[in-house]
Structure 1
Amino acid sequence: MHNKSSKQSSKPEKIEYPAWMCVECGHVYDPGAGDPYWEIRAGVPFEQLPEDWFCPVCNADKDKFRLFSSQL
Structure 2
Amino acid sequence: MNVKENEPEQTDRQTWMCAECGYIYDPAEGNLETNIRPGVPFEKLPEDWACPVCNRPREQFTKFKSQL
Q: TM-score range by the shorter chain?
A: 0.7 to 0.9
Q: Match for residue 5 of structure 2?
A: none
Instruction: Tell whether 2:48 aligns with 1:52.
Output: yes
Where structure 1 has 5 or more consecutive residues not aligned to the other structure, the ranges are 1-14
Cα shift at 1:17: 1.8
Calculate the aligned-residue CA RMSD, in Å.
0.8
Structure 2 unaligned blocks of 5 or more: 1-8
Q: How many residues align?
A: 58
Q: Which has the higher helix share?
A: 2
The ranges of structure 1 where at least 4 consecutive aligned residues each deviate by more than 4 angstroms after the TM superposition are none
The structure with the largest alpha-carbon Rg is 1
CA distance in 2, matches of 1:71, 1:30: 15
Name the TM-score, length of structure 2 as normaliser: 0.81
